[in-house]
């Protein structure tokens, strides 16, 4: 494996561990999304990889070289890891060209034109950071990281400061850039759509523990637990054969005939292509979709293929409940 | 198996070690004084307690109270008017109201004594042209009250500056919400703006109090017995070095208490309002009471700058022919020399300490870093005494080395303040990016922190330059033999009752400081625009 993280342990004080026993590996050229809630330690994890934070246990190796373990700590300056920070920290006293070529070894300078073209910054090199947009600043940060041909690229919430119109195009651009340069990339995000759209594999992280590490389709269809299932989209809860099951809203069909599942409609939201319906069945809130508007307070019947039912252990919900 | 982080922590060990050495050197005189206090003879302390201590404490406290009230009144209101209302001359007053900072408090005191005494223009005018009893204004009866107001006039810019920045940073959202909730403009000011600005105003007031405690020239001239004048008297007039140490330590403890109270008060009243507050959309309103606005702005500027400076200019013209110009040029050179070099040393050390604090992230280092700022709260006399105790056995006392050493202790906090706020504004990801791009600590400092914080460094240089230019007690105690500055010469003429002759020296201090202040204002505006 190209990147190997084994039994990684990280805490700032012993009473609160941020990362507990994290083990996973990444193949060369893969784009991995690291998904977790705000404040769950995602950025800390990236900093551990980059050597900006020391680890308290376990090991990190990249391209068959140990970066950090019990005996080794490779300084951040010596790791060939590119880091694109969340707040696009371009140095304000330097123009875009100087930012990109900041402390750059001579051997990489020949790549400048290629990287500028790839990131679409050819005509902005003379400008200063405050003279360009958020999206352009982000591309400049990516260019600064990529020109050094990093063995690993870390992207920390790269879309969080962008508005929805340029967010989609930026996603496509980043995907294109990292695949074209065959750069192994870890993308940290709290937005499931970012992860589903462009990742080869997704890693879901909660309470300091890896919950699931799989490709997007498998993750969506076969979530490892109720937390992973809910992170990836809404779930409707139902009792079936004396057990609790879950079903995704898009698997629920409105039935013209009577069925076992009668829903009282509470709200019907117009979403352009279709309506999103919120209703109640046996005191459980359900969501599903309808091509036509449904009157509020009316009763309708639904059904679904039994094979799409997802089962979790009943204690799963309690396990992931945040402490009050 | 747990990974030991030694290798990570030891990464910057040389920097941390050097920073600790600097900090210990800066705290050394304080430690020596305290050591002497606790190991010294208690009979002197008992004697002081039975004789002068109560008098010194009462006078010091009363003077602080008078100065604080004056500074608050003439500092806050103009800051509010200028931050919120548009009127003809607003931009001029915004700059002019900083200018009293260019006049050292002792020069302000000397000048006003000359204006207000029996033979001065004020009482002469009253006697000749008015029915008012001129005796009522005789400053001999109201020494400490007059001094309190004069110090307030000289020191209010600290409150003005802090309030002005704070009022500008409070965005329109809070004002709009309070108006929407039915509060009048005055109620908004008292119930919303003032409480939100409390941390800034307390910081400004803290500086005023520290300056009052440090003041020697003015209190000596007015014959008011405070701790600082007591230290000088015990030491130089009575030759009682033990008494001076005891007084210095009591003052030190008082200052530590104030320092603690200021930190505690700021901690309790930190508001994080800038992010959800719409700062830039606030438009200046046209005032409906322009006369009141002019009155508020004109009073501090008139009495804090125009009147004393006009009087000094007048005196300068009258004594121009008696001026010893070669000596004057010498003194200008000396003042610029000590101010420039001490400012360079101070900003270099301040940047170094703050940088190490930032890259090390060690809490105890951060605490020590805060502790070295204590020097600003220490009166020059206390620092001087501490250094003489350490170096009395060798010939270093009376050398430039010790003089600069004392300036560094006293004014390091002044240099640190703008650099600290500028460094704190830089996101931590700058450092992380620098490291990620292969920079070691030295390159990080040179290639990122030095250029990114350049405006703050220039501001710090100017602030320290002005403070050293005006400084009196340290220069009086520690300057090399036969080395005089504009400040010491002004003081010497004043105490020898040759006030008119001191005018040209005072004027040059004021002109130099004013020019520097105007440059500083320009840089502050640039910094605000950049941020």
pLDDT, tens digit (0-9, with 9 covering 90-100), for B7-59 = 555 567 889 999 999 999 999 988 888 888 777 667 777 777 777 888 888 99
**Chain B nearest CA to A40, separation (Å):** 19
What token pair was written down for A79? Answer: 């790791």
What does the angle CA A59 – CA A61 – CA A65 come to, to the nearest 5 degrees?
125
- The answer to whether A139 contacts chain B (CB < 8 Å) is no
Contact B436 A92 (CB under 8 A): no
Q: Which residues pair with A60 in a beta bridge?
A: A5, A68
Q: Is there a contact between B179 and B186 (Cβ–Cβ < 8 Å)?
A: no
What token pair was written down for B117? Answer: 């005494």
Q: Is there a contact between B307 and B313 (Cβ–Cβ < 8 Å)?
A: no
What token pair was written down for A107? Answer: 């051997």
The predicted pLDDT at position B286 comes to 63
The predicted pLDDT at position B275 comes to 42
Contacts of B9 in chain A (CB under 8 A): 54
Q: How far apart are CA B480 and CA A242, in angstroms?
A: 95
- The answer to whether B429 contacts chain A (CB < 8 Å) is yes
Mean pLDDT of chain B: 83
**Chain B nearest CA to A188, separation (Å):** 16
Q: Is there a contact between B232 and B52 (Cβ–Cβ < 8 Å)?
A: no
Judged against a pLDDT cut of 50, whether residue B280 lies above it is answered with: no
Give the pairing type, strands A275-281 and A284-290.
Answer: antiparallel
Closest CA to B77 of B172, B234, B186: B186
Q: How far apart are CA B355 and CA B342, in angstroms?
A: 20
**Does residue B137 or residue A115 have the better pLDDT?**
A115
**Chain B nearest CA to A30, separation (Å):** 21
Contacts of A157 in chain B (CB under 8 A): none
Judged against a pLDDT cut of 70, whether residue B531 lies above it is answered with: no
Give just the sign of the alpha carbon dihedral B287, B289, B290, B292: negative
Contacts of B438 in chain A (CB under 8 A): 77-78, 103
- The answer to whether B437 contacts chain A (CB < 8 Å) is yes
Contact A91 B430 (CB under 8 A): yes
- Mean pLDDT throughout B97-104? 88
Q: How far apart are CA A275 and CA A291, in angstroms?
A: 6
Closest CA to B507 of B361, B305, B213: B305
**Chain A nearest CA to B478, separation (Å):** 41
Give pLDDT tens digits for B295-350: 889 999 999 999 999 989 988 998 888 888 899 999 999 999 999 999 999 999 99
**Does residue A79 or residue B237 have the better pLDDT?**
A79
Q: Comparing A147-151, B72-76, B129-133, B277-281, which segment has the lowest mean pLDDT?
A: B277-281
**Chain A nearest CA to B416, separation (Å):** 21
Smallest CA–CA distance from A152 into chain B, residue: B436
Contacts of A50 in chain B (CB under 8 A): 432, 436
Q: Is there a contact between B146 and B139 (Cβ–Cβ < 8 Å)?
A: yes
Order of strands, edge to edge, in the sheet holding A253-255? A253-255, A299-303, A261-270, A275-281, A284-290
- Mean pLDDT throughout B262-284? 56
The predicted pLDDT at position B412 comes to 92
Dmax over CA atoms of chain B, in Å, equals 93
The predicted pLDDT at position B12 comes to 78
Mean pLDDT of chain A: 87
- Mean pLDDT throughout B218-225? 86
Contacts of B530 in chain A (CB under 8 A): 92
Contact A54 B8 (CB under 8 A): yes
Contact A89 B448 (CB under 8 A): no
Judged against a pLDDT cut of 60, whether residue A87 lies above it is answered with: yes
Contact A85 B429 (CB under 8 A): yes
Give pLDDT tens digits for A289-317: 999 999 989 999 999 988 888 887 766 66
Q: How far apart are CA B175 and CA B185, in angstroms?
A: 9
The predicted pLDDT at position A324 comes to 40
Q: Comparing A94-108, B150-164, B491-505, which segment has the lowest mean pLDDT?
A: B491-505
Contact A87 B432 (CB under 8 A): no
Smallest CA–CA distance from A43 into chain B, residue: B429
Contact B436 A52 (CB under 8 A): yes
Order of strands, edge to edge, in the sheet holding A185-189? A81-84, A152-156, A185-189, A31-35, A201-206, A209-214
Interface of A with B in 101-120 (CB under 8 A): 102-103
Contacts of B429 in chain A (CB under 8 A): 85-87, 89
Long-range (24+ apart) CB contacts under 8 A made by B259-267 are: B259/B374, B259/B377, B262/B202, B262/B203, B262/B206, B265/B199, B265/B202, B266/B199, B266/B202, B266/B203
Give pLDDT tens digits for B397-438: 888 999 999 999 999 988 888 888 888 888 888 999 999 998
- Mean pLDDT throughout B353-357? 92
**Chain B nearest CA to A224, separation (Å):** 28
Cα–Cα separations (whole angstroms), residue A212 to A216, A226, A235, A317, B397: 11, 11, 17, 16, 71
Q: How far apart are CA A254 and CA B217, in angstroms?
A: 91
Smallest CA–CA distance from B452 into chain A, residue: A93
Interface of A with B in 34-63 (CB under 8 A): 47, 50-52, 54-58
What does the angle CA A159 – CA A162 – CA A168 come to, to the nearest 5 degrees?
70
pLDDT band for position A266 (cuts 50, 70, 90): very high
Judged against a pLDDT cut of 90, whether residue A205 lies above it is answered with: no
**Does residue B203 or residue B238 have the better pLDDT?**
B203
- Whole-model pTM over 0.80: no
- Mean pLDDT throughout A118-129? 90
Closest CA to A39 of A183, A161, A191, A207: A207
**Chain B nearest CA to A23, separation (Å):** 14
- The answer to whether B3 contacts chain A (CB < 8 Å) is yes
The predicted pLDDT at position A46 comes to 92
CA B73 from chain centre, in angstroms, equals 18
Q: Is there a contact between A184 and A2 (Cβ–Cβ < 8 Å)?
A: yes
ipTM of model over 0.85: no
Give pLDDT tens digits for A88-117: 888 888 899 999 998 888 999 998 998 898
CA within 13 Å, CB half, B142 = 14
Q: Is there a contact between B428 and A89 (Cβ–Cβ < 8 Å)?
A: no
- Mean pLDDT throughout B218-239? 83
> DSSP states of A39-83 as a string?
TSSHHHHHHHHHTSS--SEEEEEETTEEEESSS-B--GGGS-EEE
pLDDT band for position B244 (cuts 50, 70, 90): confident
**Chain A nearest CA to B282, separation (Å):** 22
Smallest CA–CA distance from B453 into chain A, residue: A93
**Does residue A314 or residue B461 have the better pLDDT?**
B461
Contact B3 A50 (CB under 8 A): no
The predicted pLDDT at position A272 comes to 87
Count of CB pairs separated by less than 8 Å, A with B: 78
Q: How far apart are CA B254 and CA B228, in angstroms?
A: 12
**Which of A102, A107, A131, A146 is the best residue to mutate to test the B interface, defined by the most B CB atoms within 10 Å of its own CB?**
A102
Contact A85 B432 (CB under 8 A): yes
Give pLDDT tens digits for A11-26: 888 888 889 889 999 9
The predicted pLDDT at position B319 comes to 87
Q: What are phi and psi of B266, to 5 degrees?
A: -70, -40
Smallest CA–CA distance from A88 into chain B, residue: B429
* Nearest CB partner across the interface for A103, out of B8, B438, B451: B438
Judged against a pLDDT cut of 90, whether residue A59 lies above it is answered with: yes
Contacts of A9 in chain B (CB under 8 A): 2-3
- The answer to whether A82 contacts chain B (CB < 8 Å) is yes
**Chain B nearest CA to A206, separation (Å):** 22
Cα–Cα separations (whole angstroms), residue B332 to B95, B184, B328: 25, 52, 6
**Does residue A34 or residue B522 have the better pLDDT?**
A34
**Which of B2, B3, B363 is the best residue to mutate to test the A interface, defined by the most A CB atoms within 10 Å of its own CB?**
B3
Cα–Cα separations (whole angstroms), residue B19 to B349, B352, B444: 9, 7, 16
pLDDT band for position B274 (cuts 50, 70, 90): very low
Q: How far apart are CA B528 and CA B167, in angstroms?
A: 13
* Nearest CB partner across the interface for B1, out of A52, A70, A144: A70
Task: Please identify which residue in the block is written with the tokens 């992280």.
Answer: A205
Contact A55 B430 (CB under 8 A): no
């Amino acid at each position: 494996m190209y990147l190997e993280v084994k039994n990684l342990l990280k805490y700032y004080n012993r009473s609160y561990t941020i990362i507990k026993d994290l083990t996973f590996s990444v193949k060369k050229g893969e784009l991995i999304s690291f998904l977790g809630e705000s404040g769950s330690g995602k950025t800390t994890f990236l900093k551990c990889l980059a050597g900006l934070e020391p680890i308290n246990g376990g090991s990190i190796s990249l391209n068959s070289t140990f970066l950090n373990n019990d005996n080794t700590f490779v300084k951040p300056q010596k790791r060939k890891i590119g880091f694109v920070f969340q707040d696009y920290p371009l140095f304000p006293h330097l123009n875009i060209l100087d930012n990109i070529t900041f402390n750059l070894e001579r051997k990489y300078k020949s790549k400048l034109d290629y990287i500028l073209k790839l990131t679409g910054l050819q005509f902005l090199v003379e400008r200063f950071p405050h003279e360009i947009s958020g999206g352009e600043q982000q591309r400049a940060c990516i260019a600064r990281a990529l020109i050094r041909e990093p063995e690993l690229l870390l992207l920390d919430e790269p879309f969080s400061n962008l508005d929805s119109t340029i967010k989609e195009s930026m996603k496509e651009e980043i995907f294109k850039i990292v695949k074209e340069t065959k750069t192994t990339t870890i993308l940290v995000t709290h937005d499931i759509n970012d992860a589903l759209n462009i990742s080869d594999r997704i890693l879901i992280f909660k309470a300091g523990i890896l919950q699931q590490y799989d490709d997007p389709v498998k993750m969506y269809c076969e979530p490892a637990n109720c937390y992973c299932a809910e992170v990836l989209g809404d779930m409707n809860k139902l009792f079936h054969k004396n057990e609790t099951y879950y079903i995704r809203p898009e698997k629920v069909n409105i039935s013209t005939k009577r069925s076992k599942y009668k829903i009282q409609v509470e709200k019907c939201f117009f979403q352009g292509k279709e309506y999103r319906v919120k209703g109640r069945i046996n005191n459980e809130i359900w969501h599903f979709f309808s091509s036509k508007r449904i009157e509020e307070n009316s009763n309708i019947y639904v059904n679904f293929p039994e094979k799409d039912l997802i089962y979790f252990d009943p204690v799963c919900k309690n396990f992931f409940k945040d402490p009050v | 198996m747990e990974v030991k982080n030694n290798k990570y922590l030891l990464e910057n060990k040389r920097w941390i070690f050097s920073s600790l050495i600097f900090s210990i050197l800066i705290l050394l005189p304080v430690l020596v004084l305290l050591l002497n206090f606790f190991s010294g003879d208690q009979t002197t302390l008992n004697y002081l307690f039975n004789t002068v201590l109560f008098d010194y404490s009462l006078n010091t406290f009363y003077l602080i109270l008078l100065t604080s009230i004056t500074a608050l009144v003439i500092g806050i209101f103009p800051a509010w008017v200028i931050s919120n209302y548009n009127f003809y001359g607003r931009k001029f007053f915004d700059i002019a109201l900083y200018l009293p900072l260019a006049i050292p408090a002792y020069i302000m005191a000397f000048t006003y004594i000359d204006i207000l005494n029996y033979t001065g223009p004020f009482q002469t005018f009253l006697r000749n042209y008015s029915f008012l009893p001129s005796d009522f204004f005789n400053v001999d009866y109201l020494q400490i009250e007059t001094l309190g107001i004069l110090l307030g006039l000289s020191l209010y810019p600290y409150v003005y500056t802090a309030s002005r920045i704070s009022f500008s940073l409070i965005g329109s959202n809070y004002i709009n919400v309070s108006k929407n909730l039915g509060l009048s403009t005055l109620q908004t000011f008292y119930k919303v703006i003032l409480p939100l600005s409390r941390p800034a105003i307390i910081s400004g007031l803290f500086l005023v109090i520290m300056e009052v405690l440090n003041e020697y020239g003015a209190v000596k001239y007015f014959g008011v017995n405070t701790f600082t004048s007591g230290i000088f008297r015990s030491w130089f007039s009575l030759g009682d070095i033990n008494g001076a140490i005891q007084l210095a330590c009591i003052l030190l403890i008082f200052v530590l208490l104030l320092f603690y109270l200021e930190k505690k008060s700021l901690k309790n009243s930190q508001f994080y309002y800038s992010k959800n507050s719409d700062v830039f959309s606030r438009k200046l309103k046209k005032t409906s009471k322009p006369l009141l606005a002019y009155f508020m702005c004109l009073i501090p500027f008139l009495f804090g700058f125009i009147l004393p400076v006009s009087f000094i200019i007048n005196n300068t013209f009258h004594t121009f022919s008696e001026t010893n110009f070669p000596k004057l040029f010498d003194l200008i050179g000396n003042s610029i020399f000590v101010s420039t070099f001490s400012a360079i040393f101070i900003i270099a050390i301040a940047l170094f300490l703050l940088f190490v604090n930032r890259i090390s992230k060690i809490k105890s280092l951060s605490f020590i870093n805060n502790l070295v700022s204590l020097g600003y709260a220490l009166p020059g006399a206390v620092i001087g005494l501490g250094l003489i105790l350490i170096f009395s056995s060798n010939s270093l006392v009376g050398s430039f080395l010790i003089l600069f050493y004392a300036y560094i202790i006293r004014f390091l906090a002044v240099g640190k303040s703008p650099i600290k706020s500028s460094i704190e504004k830089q996101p931590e990801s700058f450092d992380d990016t620098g490291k990620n791009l292969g920079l070691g600590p030295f390159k990080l400092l040179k290639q990122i922190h030095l250029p990114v914080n350049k405006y703050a460094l220039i501001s710090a240089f100017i602030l320290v330059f002005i403070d050293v230019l005006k400084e009196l007690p340290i220069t009086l105690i520690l300057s090399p033999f036969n080395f005089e500055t504009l400040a010491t010469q002004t003081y010497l003429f004043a105490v020898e009752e040759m006030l008119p002759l001191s005018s040209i020296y005072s004027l040059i201090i004021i002109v130099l400081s004013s020019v520097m202040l105007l440059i500083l204002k320009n840089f502050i505006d640039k910094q605000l625009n950049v941020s």
